Amino acid sequence: MATLALVSFYLAAAVITVWQAVRVPERRPVPLLSLFALTAAGHERGTGDALGLLCHYGAGIAGLALLAMLLPRPASATPTPSPRKP
């Protein structure tokens, strides 16, 4: 019963993420969507199954990709030229 609740939760989170991605067309929800979907698939298959374990690893990689996308980028070394005033 607990596995069904976890799978339902992660599938609902994936549906909400798809809805948000359609509403605001950006790339950032893609790793989040894959994290939720792979976690749901991993819980459905179970950790005793090789495919379930692979789904859990894939969810971890998707989480790291999301983290890399959300980290602030360092400022560039070359300053941008200021616009000229007429």
Residue-level pLDDT at 58: 92
Asked if 53 and 41 touch (Cβ cutoff 8 Å), the reply is no
Low-confidence ranges of the chain (pLDDT < 50): none
∠ CA(39), CA(34), CA(26), 5° rounding?
150
- What does DSSP assign to residue 47? T
